[in-house]
Structure 1
Amino acid sequence: MKRLGTVLLALVGALMLAAGPAAAHSVVLGSSPEQGSEIAEAPEQVSVTFNEALQQQFAALTVVGPDGNLWSKGDPIVDGPTVSVEIDGLGPVGEYTIAYRVTSADGHPVSGTRTFTLTQEGTGTPGEAAAGDAAPASDVATDDGGGPAVWWFVVAGVIVVVAALWFVLRKPKA
C-alpha cells in the first residue's frame, strides 16, 4: 500500500509539472462587415474587433477582392480592441477577404481572415494586385509560438513517472 501511495504521489507530481501556463491570446468578437454577410454597397471602412486591447505596432489589415486586387487604402488604425482600414469603394461582385495580423496584449501575433460578399457592382478603384496571402485562410486565431512547447512538459512527466515506478517497484536486494 505504501508503494501504491508513493506511485500515486509521483504521478500527481508529474502531472502538475506537465501543466504549462495558460496562453490566452486575443480572439475576434466581430467585424464590420460581419463574417459571411452580404452587402450591396461598400462601407467607408472595414474593421475587426477583438476581446482585448491590441498593441499599436505591427498591425496589418487588408481587403482583397474577388479579382485578386487590394481594395483597402492606407495603413490600418488600432483603437483599443479594434483595428480598421479605410476603403474607397469596392468593385466587382463577389467575395471579399479581410485579412488581419495584429499583436495581442500579451505580445503574441494573431492572424486570420474574414469574408463578406458584395452583391451589387461597385464603382471603386482597385489598388495593386495582392501579393500572396496576408494571413492564414481561416477565422481561427493562430499562434506563432513564443512559449515553451507543451510536449516537453509531457515528456518530462513521463520520465518522472517511469523513474518513480522503477524505484518503487524494484525488488530490494536481500
Structure 2
Amino acid sequence: MTKLTNTLDDHDFGKYSKTESNPRARLRLLILHQYSIGKSTIDIAKDLCIHPETARRTKKRYYERGLESIYDRHRRGRHSKLAQTDIDAFKDMIVSEQQKRSGGRLTGKDIQQLAKEHYNAHYTVNGIYELLKRIGMSWISARSQHPKADPQAQEAFKKLYSTY
C-alpha cells in the first residue's frame, strides 16, 4: 500500500474552485471542498447531483496524485498529422503567404496544399479548419480586395452618387 502524502487540509479548494475555468476541474475542486469541511460521500453526491463513486474516485485520486489530479490526464487517440514542433513555423508560413498575395485570401484548399507540400501532413479541408481552430488561428477575415481595384476611383464614385 502506498503512503498518502496529500491531505484535505493542504489547500483551500473552495477558493480555487471560484477561479477555475475548466468545468471538470471545478467540480472536482468542489467535491474536495465538501470532503474538507467534513461532509459524507452520500451527502456530497446528493448536493452536487453526482454518483457517489465519482466523489470517492476524486478523493482517492487527490490522495494519490495531489492537486494535479483535478485535471484530466492526456488520453490516447490519434496524434496530429502536423508535429507539435512545426506549429509555430506553420502559422508563420500561413501569415506570410497571405501577405504575399496582392488580392484575395488563402482558402482552406490553399492551406491544405501548404501543409502537404512543406510538412507532408495530409488533411481534408475540414481537417485544416479544425487544425486552425486548435492552433489558435481564427479564419474569419475581411472581404478581399481585387488586385486591380482603384481606391481613388471608388471614393470618387461614392462622392458622386452619395447625393442621391
TM surpasses 0.5: no
TM-score (norm 1): 0.25
Which of the pair has more CA radius of gyration?
2
Normalised to the residue count of structure 2, the TM-score between the two structures is 0.26
Identify, as 1 or 2, the structure richer in strand.
1
Instruction: Tell me which protein shows more helix as a share of its residues.
Output: 2
Question: 1 or 2 for the larger relative contact order (CA 8 Å, sep ≥6)?
Answer: 1
